[in-house]
Amino acid sequence: MRDFYGTALANPLMLGTAQYPSPAVLEAAFRASGAAVATVSLRREAGQGQSFWQIIKGLGVPVLPNTAGCHSAREAITTAQMARELFETNWIKLEVIGHADTLQPDPFGLLQATEALAADGFEVFPYTTEDQVLAARLLDAGAKVLMPWGAPIGSGLGLNNRYGLRTLRAAFPDVPMVIDAGLGLPSHAADALEMGFDAVLLNTAVAQAGDPVAMARAFALAVQAGVVARRADPMAPRDMAKPSTPVLGKAWL
């Protein structure tokens, strides 16, 4: 598994910390997931208080603050600077939202913020689309990780543009990539890892499940399956049938 700015993760699952029924359920679900990174919104943490922050620190995993809810480069940059001071990390999941309904990233603001934050010593995880041109620009701006969306945030639709994601993965084979947003089922996570992505990030699929702890366990199993399947070099799809029983040796009547 590729590392992320020099940090190797024992598990390809990154899990968000929002929308859980209670802090106790959050902690239990996170531990059941085996996730290697906890994502935290600066705005959400500020509203939760010290007890929430103690839970996050107690998880014993790296924290990836995000700029959720920011709609301009300037707003995202300011939020990132505040997050670095509060969480004491140079990691930042950079979100610059450009569309109110789909929550699609604003490519222009995202690129501007990435360039400014990378120059300021941040290790940027940009939430982006599967656009290869934008990906190349983000890497040129200083990002060393890409986080393409699977589908709109919170939609649970899975991998909407499989062709786009496959070609993005193939175009930048050495760049660590995390599928971020839109995953709703454990099978979606396994699918992303089988496709060759290095990790998945999700939140709503676990937090808003009827049983978040059970769903977290399901995702833990799914990411393991996805990694093992990828390493096993799965067969390529075929357009036509191919018999599994050879014709050689068949009795002709």
Q: Which residue has the tokens 């996730």?
A: 35
Q: Confidence band (pLDDT; 50, 70, 90) for 162?
A: very high
Q: At what angle do helices 212-231 and 186-194 cross, to 10 degrees?
A: 20
Asked if 245 and 211 count as a contact pair (C-beta separation under 8 A), the reply is: no
pLDDT, residue 56, reads 87
When computed from its CA atoms, the radius of gyration of the chain, rounded to whole angstroms, is: 20
Report d(CA 95, CA 176) in Å as an integer: 18
Q: Dump strand ranges (E) for 110-169.
A: 123-128, 147-148
Asked if 122 and 155 count as a contact pair (C-beta separation under 8 A), the reply is: no
Nearest Cα to Cα of residue 26 among 212, 218, 214: 212
Asked if 178 and 147 count as a contact pair (C-beta separation under 8 A), the reply is: yes
Interval 26-38 mean pLDDT: 96
Interval 119-127 mean pLDDT: 97
* pLDDT(45) > 90: no
Q: Kindly report the pTM of this predicted structure.
A: 0.90
Question: DSSP assignment, residue 105?
Answer: B
DSSP-derived secondary structure for 180-221: ES---SHHHHHHHHHTT-SEEEESHHHHTSSSHHHHHHHHHH
Interval 172-191 mean pLDDT: 96
Report d(CA 94, CA 73) in Å as an integer: 10
| Residue 119 three-state SS | helix
Least confident interval from 114-118, 223-227, 239-243: 239-243
How many CB atoms are closer than 10 A to CB 15?
A: 27
| C-alpha to C-alpha distances, 41 to 24, 82, 125, 152, nearest whole angstrom | 18, 11, 14, 18
Interval 159-184 mean pLDDT: 96
pLDDT, residue 129, reads 95
Q: Confidence band (pLDDT; 50, 70, 90) for 175?
A: very high
Percent of the chain residues topping a pLDDT of 90: 79
pLDDT, residue 80, reads 96
**Phi and psi dihedrals of 33, rounded to 5?**
-75, -25
Interval 122-141 mean pLDDT: 97
Interval 136-156 mean pLDDT: 96
Q: Which residue numbers are catalytic?
A: 93
Q: In DSSP terms, which residues pair with 178 in a beta bridge? A: 199
pLDDT, residue 64, reads 96
Q: Confidence band (pLDDT; 50, 70, 90) for 44?
A: low
Mean pLDDT score across all residues of the chain: 92
pLDDT, residue 250, reads 67
